[in-house]
């Protein structure tokens, strides 16, 4: 049987273009596809991050309410694996660009994309998994 892996993650955004640009700019995620509504407006942008990140248009009324912890119900973080130098480079770029960083631990830096979705970069050394 094939080992399971992430096929895609769908991320809701009021402005898919702006959010997709964040992931393309900081993580080098190439654009795979754009989808449009029948009226021609942008519905989604698909990006390649070793899995497909589908940045999907949603209206403000479709966004779940945020808890006092700053997290919404359901999936609340995309954590990407980086090496130590990539982490330093991204932290430096985020600081220069005014990207909101929420927290930094020994291995992981937590930030927000343009629509306040949590994204992290992590050097955490998971033990070998089979």
Per residue in 41-85, pLDDT (tens digit) is 999 999 999 999 999 998 766 555 655 555 555 567 899 999 999
The answer to whether 23 and 16 have CB atoms below 8 angstroms apart is no
pLDDT of residue 59: 78
Q: 11-22: per-residue pLDDT in tens?
A: 989 999 999 999
Which of the pair, 33 or 67, is modelled with greater confidence?
33
Residue 107 located in a structural domain? yes
Residue 28 located in a structural domain? yes
**What is the pLDDT averaged over residues 89-118?**
96
**What is the pLDDT averaged over residues 79-99?**
97
Length of the chain: 130
Structural domain harbouring 48 = 8-59+71-122
For the chain, the average pLDDT equals 89
Residue 66 located in a structural domain? no
Residue 106 located in a structural domain? yes
Residue 87 located in a structural domain? yes
Sign for the CA dihedral angle at 97, 12, 43, 53 comes to positive
pLDDT of residue 130: 57
Can you give the pTM of this predicted structure? Answer: 0.83
Among 55-64, 70-79, 95-104, 113-122, the range scoring the smallest mean pLDDT is 70-79
Rounded-to-integer distance, Cα 2 and Cα 52, Å: 19
pLDDT of residue 71: 54
Rounded-to-integer distance, Cα 40 and Cα 8, Å: 24
Please tell me the total count of domains within the chain: 1
pLDDT of residue 45: 98
Q: What is the domain-level CATH number for residue 77?
A: 3.10.180.10
Residue 65 located in a structural domain? no
Residue 129 located in a structural domain? no
Strands 31-36 and 42-48 turn out to be: antiparallel
Strands 42-48 and 101-104 turn out to be: unpaired
Residue 12 located in a structural domain? yes
């Amino acid at each position: 049987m094939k080992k399971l892996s992430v096929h895609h993650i769908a991320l809701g955004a009021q402005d898919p273009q702006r959010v997709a640009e964040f992931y393309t700019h900081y993580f080098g995620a190439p654009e795979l596809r754009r989808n449009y509504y029948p009226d021609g407006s942008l519905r989604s942008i698909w990006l390649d991050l070793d899995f497909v990140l589908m940045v999907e248009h949603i209206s403000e009324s479709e966004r779940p309410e945020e808890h006092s912890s700053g997290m919404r119900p359901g999936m609340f973080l995309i954590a990407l694996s980086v090496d130590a130098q990539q982490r330093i480079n991204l932290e430096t770029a985020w600081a220069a660009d005014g990207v909101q960083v929420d927290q930094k631990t020994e291995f992981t830096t937590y930030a927000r994309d343009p629509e306040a979705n949590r994204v992290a970069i992590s050097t955490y050394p998971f033990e070998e998994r089979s």
